[in-house]
Amino acid sequence: MSQDTAAATPVAGGAADVDPKRWLALVVIAIAQLMVVLDATIVNIAMPGRRRRWRSPTPTGSGSSRRTR
């Protein structure tokens, strides 16, 4: 009798304990990450052409677009 009840009880940490909303969260995070990478790729491709068109100097990282002597 104890063997039958032991086999029927679910094991803690099994697949039955997983919340279905975890998959939704994973999908939302994956789509957000895809959007960030796609946006960064588009900016990196477009900026050199924009810089040439506007005749602006290459950025120095100081926040200023003026050239110093």
Q: Specify if 34 maps to a domain.
A: yes
For residue 3, the model assigns a pLDDT of 61
For residue 54, the model assigns a pLDDT of 78
- Domain of 26 in residue numbering reads as 20-55
Give the mean pLDDT per block of 10 residues along the chain (69 residues): 58 69 95 97 87 71 55
For residue 5, the model assigns a pLDDT of 58
For residue 67, the model assigns a pLDDT of 55
For residue 46, the model assigns a pLDDT of 86
Q: Specify if 9 maps to a domain.
A: no
For residue 58, the tally of other CB atoms under 10 A from its CB is 8
| Distance (Å, whole) CA 18 – CA 11 | 12
The token duo for 14 is 């099994």
Q: Specify if 40 maps to a domain.
A: yes
| Distance (Å, whole) CA 69 – CA 65 | 13
For residue 51, the model assigns a pLDDT of 76
For residue 13, the model assigns a pLDDT of 59
Domain count, the chain: 1
